[in-house]
Structure 1
Amino acid sequence: MGLFEVLLLAVGLAMDAFAVSICKGLAVGKVSKKEYLLCGIWFGTFQGVMPLIGYLVGSNFVKLISMIAPWVAFILLSLIGGNMIKEALGPDEEVSPGFDVKTMFMMAVATSIDALAVGITFVAVPVEIIDSGSLINVVIAVIIIGVITCIISMAGVKIGSVFGDRYKAGSEIMGGTILLFIGFRALITHLDNANTLSDTETIFGMLIPLIGTLLGSLIIYAQKAQLSDKMRAVLVGFSSGIMLSAAVWGMIEPAVEGFGTDVHKGIIPVTICFCVGVIFQILLDKFIPHIHVYSDITEGPESKLSPKIKAVLKEVIHHVPEGIALGTIYAAHFMKTEWISSSVALVLAIAIALQNIPEALNVSLWLREAGTKTGKAFLMGVVSGAPIPLLGIITVVLVVLFPGLLPYIMSVSGGALVYTTIEEIPQIALKQDNDRGALSFAVGFAIVMLMIFL
């Protein structure tokens, strides 16, 4: 392994630290030069020390390190990310910079612990940067890794601070969500014995719905005035039609075939699981405080959370069955399941993305009308779609590890999707002139039906 390979390795290892540094900048906002340097030194030092430790302990502990490293990263990043989201959802108050020893130590360990295994590879693939002993070459390599990580981490803090200073609460939520995602990714990749996550189609498919959420939230910058009641009814009708069609033709109908050729036998477990999905969604509605935008409907237990946060939580609840549904279909696609068309996965991802556009626009506009600044409303709209790829990846790995669960999970997600869709329909039916909303519902339903069967 020469100098060029070490440089590439250093950049690759620094990416987690870079992402976490951006999150740190998002959460803190204004950052001093001392804090830039402090963050860089913490991440750079640990990213350099871990490979050195791995090299010194050798291959005797490779199995143990590979086993515990993802769990450590998952636990630490989940704790930090969860705390960031908790602070963002809490009452507005002055937050400490968060560069204390405890916080930085946890972050540095979480982002560098996987580099232990890299150090072990230095035993099998010797480092040859200069004409000297192997230990000297390894020391030079880890110094290069540490310095590059330090520089990249400082840049990450700067990038994050630019946005964090402007859009504080929304940035904290996004930063915490990113940390949770990185932690889940480390753990799920470790548990993914079938290497599903190396399949680029699966990863891209998980991100398509998030693109729809991003586009919907972006429209807030072009849409200065609030939408009319008729236009909102059209958007709600269109997205509801899409979801109901996806639930019926993309989830429930193929799930019946998944239980065998005898339709009469398959419909029984599908019906039971369908009811389980409905109950699951009812429980989410019951135990998570949330508010339906542009209506007086508030659900869940009493909470001190602001209406703005409750509006985002409503979107999160709505996206839970979408993420599970997307994960099951992509798992079926990855396993080449015969009773599900290979094109259904992409169709479902596009369908969810299409209905996410008006949903994200509605919630972002409502947040702005409720007094939230445009930038913060945009960020909170984007964050509301984060559960889809997160739950999608978890579901993919679960189904690949336990293939027999596929038709059951499809039926459950189908029931949950139908329930969440029915919740939105009163926003169309209660309008005096609801023909446009009803027509857009039919259009959305027909479009997805055609996409699935064609």
Structure 2
Amino acid sequence: MSPFSILLIGIAMSTDAFAAAVGKGAAMQRPRFPQALRAGLIFGAIEAITPVIGWLLGHAAARYITAWDHWIAFGVLGLLGLHMIWNGFRPDSDDDGQAIRHHGFWGLAATGLGTSIDAMAVGVSLAFLDAPIAVVAAVIGLCTLVMVTTGIMLGRVLGALAGKRAEILGGVIMIAIGSVILHEHLSGAA
């Protein structure tokens, strides 16, 4: 897996966290940098841990399905991308607006966990590719730290519209990465 692909995964995995951070930043009363950095650290740590958990689960099952690994990675990343795009076009519900009001550690951690489920699924697919999970997890965590900190600070200015667009872009990136993985494996096998 190339460094550029790893960076794209990191960016794609952090877009839903960015969308949530923009919403949180819009709901906060004049968020300051320490508040934004704290949220970024919480989200980043969770986003870095979840792909490792997924990788461990996928690695345990990898030896049973190595002949299909590229198709599984393509399918998982494609479905995640479609789900992110769908969420990007879906209007927010009142429940989401209520959740934005919680800015304490547990509220941020719950939101971070909710936005990191896709990173766990990516970790599962990376186990089939024998990717360097420590590097990928660190890049995902750092990208999320930067994106969430930035999202909180820009939240009041950008509003929910930019967050939705970021999630759509992240979904497109995930589908593209899955397609590249499939193409690389099918081209190499021919």
Q: Same fold (TM over 0.5)?
A: yes
Q: Which runs of 5+ in 2 are unaligned?
A: 63-71, 176-190
Cα deviation for residue 46 of structure 1 reads: 1.4
Letter paired with 1:98: H
Instruction: Indicate the residue corresponding to 2:41 in structure 1.
Output: 41
Q: How does 1:113-132 map to 2 (within 5 A)?
A: 113-127=117-131
- Taking a change above 3 Å as real, the CA distance of residues 123 and 84 of structure 1, as seen in their structure-2 partners, is closer
Counterpart check, 1:110 vs 2:114: yes
Counterpart check, 1:22 vs 2:22: yes
- Taking a change above 3 Å as real, the CA distance of residues 104 and 154 of structure 1, as seen in their structure-2 partners, is same
Q: How does 1:226-305 map to 2 (within 5 A)?
A: none
- Structure 1 consecutive aligned stretches of length 4 or more whose deviation exceeds 4 Å: 59-63, 77-80
Instruction: Indicate the residue corresponding to 2:152 in structure 1.
Output: 157
Give the TM-score normalised by the residue count of structure 2: 0.63
Letter paired with 2:96: G
Task: Provide the C-alpha distance between the structure 2 equivalents of 1:123 and 1:60, rounded to a whole number of angstroms.
Answer: 8
Task: Provide the C-alpha distance between the structure 1 equivalents of 2:109 and 2:33, rounded to a whole number of angstroms.
Answer: 19
Task: Provide the C-alpha distance between the structure 2 equivalents of 1:159 and 1:35, rounded to a whole number of angstroms.
Answer: 13
- Taking a change above 3 Å as real, the CA distance of residues 117 and 42 of structure 1, as seen in their structure-2 partners, is same
- Taking a change above 3 Å as real, the CA distance of residues 84 and 125 of structure 1, as seen in their structure-2 partners, is closer
Cα deviation for residue 162 of structure 1 reads: 3.5
Task: Provide the C-alpha distance between the structure 1 equivalents of 2:60 and 2:93, rounded to a whole number of angstroms.
Answer: 29
- Taking a change above 3 Å as real, the CA distance of residues 112 and 84 of structure 1, as seen in their structure-2 partners, is closer
Letter paired with 1:32: R
Cα deviation for residue 84 of structure 1 reads: 5.8
Greater share of helix residues, 1 or 2? 2
Instruction: Indicate the residue corresponding to 1:83 in structure 2.
Output: 98
- Taking a change above 3 Å as real, the CA distance of residues 84 and 116 of structure 1, as seen in their structure-2 partners, is closer
Task: Provide the C-alpha distance between the structure 2 equivalents of 1:104 and 1:125, rounded to a whole number of angstroms.
Answer: 32
Instruction: Indicate the residue corresponding to 1:367 in structure 2.
Output: none
1:146 to 131, 134, 141: 141
Q: Deviations over 1:62-114 (max 9, x none)?
A: 99xx7xx97xxx8xx867514169xxxxxxxxxxx732123112211111101
Letter paired with 2:28: V
Counterpart check, 1:52 vs 2:52: yes
> Which structure ranks higher in relative contact order (CA pairs < 8 Å, sequence separation ≥ 6)?
2
Task: Provide the C-alpha distance between the structure 2 equivalents of 1:15 and 1:138, rounded to a whole number of angstroms.
Answer: 19
- Taking a change above 3 Å as real, the CA distance of residues 44 and 78 of structure 1, as seen in their structure-2 partners, is farther
Letter paired with 1:81: D
Cα deviation for residue 35 of structure 1 reads: 0.8
- Taking a change above 3 Å as real, the CA distance of residues 52 and 82 of structure 1, as seen in their structure-2 partners, is same
Q: Which runs of 5+ in 1 are unaligned?
A: 86-96, 128-136, 164-170, 190-197, 199-454
Q: Deviations over 1:177-210 (max 9, x none)?
A: 96xxx7xx9xxx9xxxxxxxx9xxxxxxxxxxxx
Letter paired with 1:24: K
Q: Deviations over 1:4-31 (max 9, x none)?
A: 2101110111111111111111111401
- State, as a whole percentage, how many aligned pairs show the same letter: 26
Letter paired with 2:147: I
Cα contact 1:28–1:98 (8 A) shared by 2: no
Cα contact 1:25–1:31 (8 A) shared by 2: yes
Select the structure of larger CA radius of gyration. 1
- How many residue pairs get matched? 143
Give the TM-score normalised by the residue count of structure 1: 0.28
Counterpart check, 1:101 vs 2:105: yes
Q: Deviations over 1:237-280 (max 9, x none)?
A: xxxxxxxxxxxxxxxxxxxxxxxxxxxxxxxxxxxxxxxxxxxx
Task: Provide the C-alpha distance between the structure 1 equivalents of 2:93 and 2:119, rounded to a whole number of angstroms.
Answer: 19
Instruction: Indicate the residue corresponding to 1:32 in structure 2.
Output: 32
Cα contact 1:43–1:108 (8 A) shared by 2: yes
Letter paired with 1:159: L
Q: How does 1:28-427 map to 2 (within 5 A)?
A: 28-58=28-58, 80-83=95-98, 98-127=102-131, 137-162=132-157, 174=160
